[in-house]
Amino acid sequence: MPRPPLSLSLQFARFDGVAEHRAALPRHRVARWLRAALGDDVQAAELAVRVVGEAEGRQINRDFRHKDYATNVLTFDYQGAPVVAADLVLCAPVIAREAAELGKPLAEHYAHLLVHGALHAQGWDHETSEADAEAMEAQEARVLAGLGLANPYQS
């Protein structure tokens, strides 16, 4: 079954080392990862992906979640299925550190976090209960397996 149409805005803030992150995130690859995460009830998606540095990531997390640190991905969902609309903010330095700690290629960790953010945009939540967390992790693993990537929750 063909994947739903995706309107994608891919933005990179100015920060040290941005070239490495641009190289890991070619538009066609980001679109493929996001499309793979869209559920069967999604007819179309409008997603903006912004890759930011540590200061901007921290500021956004502080302003919107009242948590004073930079986190890997933030999802701002505006509309659910059938037309999903959301902004995904990815903090490049955090993602690079995590990828290094996990021994994973940077692009592979970005794929996981883009899928994670896209699932949040569709209403999936891992903070509501243990059962919800397990369901979301299982869905992430299914999507990533379809992309030929390993389950990030298996050690």
Buried b (16+ CB within 10 A) or exposed e, 63-76: eeeeeeebbbbbbe
In a domain, 152, yes or no: no
Alpha carbon separation from 147 to 68, 71, 86, 109, 133 (Å, rounded): 34, 24, 22, 13, 21
Answering whether pTM is above 0.75, one says yes
Give how many domains the chain has, as a whole number: 1
| pLDDT per residue rounded down to tens, the chain (155 residues) | 677 899 999 999 999 999 999 999 999 999 999 999 999 999 999 999 999 999 999 999 999 999 999 999 999 999 999 999 999 999 999 999 999 999 999 999 999 999 999 999 999 999 999 999 999 999 999 999 999 999 999 86
Q: What is the pLDDT of residues 92-124, one digit of tens each?
A: 999 999 999 999 999 999 999 999 999 999 999
CATH number of 106's domain: 3.40.390.30
In a domain, 154, yes or no: no
In a domain, 130, yes or no: yes
Interatomic CA distance for residues 122 and 145, integer angstroms: 19
148: left (phi over 0), alpha (psi -120 to 50) or beta: left
What pLDDT score was predicted for residue 1? 61
Cross-strand bridge partners of residue 9:
48
In a domain, 128, yes or no: yes
Q: What is the pLDDT of residues 75-84, one digit of tens each?
A: 999 999 999 9
In a domain, 151, yes or no: no
In a domain, 95, yes or no: yes
In a domain, 17, yes or no: yes
In a domain, 66, yes or no: yes
Q: Which domain holds residue 31?
A: 6-146
